[in-house]
A = this chain, B = another copy of it.
Amino acid sequence: MARIVQKFGGTSVADLDRIRHVATRVKAEVDQGNQVAVVVSAMAGVTNQLVGYCSDIAPFHDAREYDAVVATGEQVTSGLLALALQELGVEARSWLGWQIPINTDGAHGKARITEINAPALIERLERGQVAVVPGFQGLGPDNRITTLGRGGSDTSAVALAAALDAERCDIYTDVDGVYTTDPRIVPNARKLSRITYEEMLEMASLGAKVLQTRSVEMAMKYRVRLQVLSSFIEAPGTLVCDEDEIVEKELVSGIAYSRDEAKITLVKVADRPGVAARIFGPLAEGNINVDMIVQNVSDDGKATDLTFTVGKNDLDRAVKLLEARRDDLGFQDLVKDSGVVKVSVIGVGMRSHAGVAQTMFTALADKGINIQVISTSEIKVSVLIAEDYTELALRALHAAYGLDA
């Protein structure tokens, strides 16, 4: 007998029929003798409608009222799933964020969970009652409803799993697991049976939209074993777990890409101490995230070219900010390019193996793909290339690392 947290996202609880179907998936766990807590999202379209109402009434709305309005979506699903479970003869009840309570900080609209101390809920679980918990919501220090920000239901599920000391947190979604790369682009992509937290974190932050980065971070911190699986197909998914749990480690686990990058090059920046701080300071203050940074060696010791990437959505703002400081920063020209993609190979195995980057560079060169920027970390190598080459690069790398099915 194990204690399991199951989380069903928006597409899994889109309408009443899907909610009924989810109830059968929950019942299957209960029938195996497991204690089950279920975290649910809002039904299809509901959150968007509620957010739309708030924006219509007040474009710059009080986040506390926004939270009170938007949190109702998950509340409705919780009650309905509890009813659907009861119809199947499964004892169940809904537990709203303020009832458990799921305590958060006071950052309405993007709150962080601070504590879940749930003796009453645990007592019911131990008696065999299923707990249905609305995701995305908590209780702030002001005794008002908070929401965790978009995608917060994954975080709710992981936090609950940590608080309940659950054996596993199953995230049901519309894909059946984590793949070596995007199967829509590389038909040979394989579903991974296991992946480490670190790798999943890189995958998530690099554009694989299976899990929210924040929920993976939390899972890693509290060592919650996460399983990603489909609510429509009955098959095991991908387990995100500790490195120790993975016997056969691959050198490279996956290849991720992100089209959400744009490149800025400052031509002929003065090559003197402090210039980087003067460039990136204003961007940081403007809340613009800078990702990859490359500074060329200066030809003459006087001026150099500086290239970096920002989110595509921030490009115009970043350009404006920099142009306004052109005299102060002393660059000759600013070149921007949003037609780029970041491709990354990821694997904890590369910590102990040389040559991973070299394989990447060779594979790309063989296809005539020019690398514009490179950045590396302990478990990944990322390159920036022209967006047109995305598919070609992914297929070449997938084959080069022996990941093809």
Contact = CB atoms under 8 A, between A and B. Distances in A.
A96 B71 CA distance: 13
A58 B75 contact: no
Chain A contact residues: helix, strand, loop or mixed? helix
A52 to B, nearest CB: 9
Given A20-B57, A82-B62, A50 B68 contact: no
A146 to B, nearest CB: 13
Q: Could you say how many copies of this chain the assembly holds?
A: 2
A65 interface: yes
A78 B86 contact: no
Given A58-B86, A98-B98, A99-B144, A65 B79 contact: yes
Interface string A78-90: 1110111011000
A275 B250 CA distance: 90
Residue of A53, A78, A82, A83 contacting most chain B CB atoms (<10 Å): A83
A143 interface: yes
Nearest to A134: B68
A96 B75 CA distance: 14
B72 A94 contact: no
Contacts of A79: 54, 65-66, 68-69
A93 interface: yes
A41 to B, nearest CB: 15
A367 interface: no
A76 interface: yes
Nearest to A87: B58
B76 A72 contact: yes
A56 interface: yes
Contact of A143 (B58, B65, B68, B99): B99
A72 B99 CA distance: 15
Interface in A92-129: 93-94, 96, 98-99
Contacts of A69: 75-76, 79-80
B93 A64 contact: yes
A392 interface: no
Q: Enumerate the 3 nearest inter-chain pairs by beta-carbon distance, A residue then B residue, closest first.
A: A69-B79, A72-B72, A68-B79
Interface of A: 16, 19-20, 50, 53-54, 56-58, 61-62, 64-66, 68-69, 72, 75-76, 78-80, 82-84, 86-87, 93-94, 96, 98-99, 143-145
